[in-house]
Amino acid sequence: MVSAAFYGLIAMSVGVYMAATSDYLFKAAHGHLNLLGWVTMSIFGIVYFVLPDLASTKLAKLHFYCAHIAVLFLSGGMAIFVLFGSTNVAKVGAVFAISSMLLFLFGLIKYGSDNTSLPHASVIDSKLPISE
């Protein structure tokens, strides 16, 4: 979650820069850093919080690094494309992004059902009346 918030902060700062200067060169990089960095990484973080058995697997650790490489190479690669015209870095980022989603899906299918009871049910119940 901390890295998701960090990506969101950087992406929004680029958004403020674009809005302030009307220079929209980096809008694709901004959009993808927000959606892949802030939103998607937040979703991964919340799912791993709710499913700690899944989060403790080697697969989840591999997914963690794969997802970060995807965010940096895809959104960074889009900035490199508008500056230098090369799509190579963004292409590497795209491969890591789709691999990251495949690893996540595989982890959910293989380990997701292990968490028969929500680990933080007592915490969640005290805050959200789920059982009602």
DSSP assignments along 27-48, one per residue = HHHHHHIIIIIIIIHHHHHHHH
Residue nearest to ligand HEM (CB): 15
**Nearest distance from C-beta of residue 62 to ligand HEM, angstroms:** 26
**Nearest distance from C-beta of residue 130 to ligand HEM, angstroms:** 27
**Nearest distance from C-beta of residue 115 to ligand HEM, angstroms:** 28
Of 35 and 62, the one with the shorter C-beta distance to ligand HEM is 35
In whole angstroms, what is the distance from residue 56 CA to residue 21 CA?
45
Q: Return phi, psi of residue 120, to 5°.
A: -110, 30
**Nearest distance from C-beta of residue 6 to ligand HEM, angstroms:** 14
Of 13 and 88, the one with the shorter C-beta distance to ligand HEM is 13
Of 29 and 72, the one with the shorter C-beta distance to ligand HEM is 29
In whole angstroms, what is the distance from residue 13 CA to residue 67 CA?
22
Yes or no: say if 70 and 36 are a contact pair by the CB < 8 Å rule.
Answer: yes
**Nearest distance from C-beta of residue 48 to ligand HEM, angstroms:** 20
Which distant-in-sequence residues (6+ apart) come within 8 Å of 92 by Cβ?
Answer: 73, 77
Site residues (vs ligand HEM, CB under 6 A): 12, 15-16, 18-19, 24, 27-28, 30-31, 34-35, 38-39
Of 38 and 48, the one with the shorter C-beta distance to ligand HEM is 38
| Tally of residues, the chain | 132
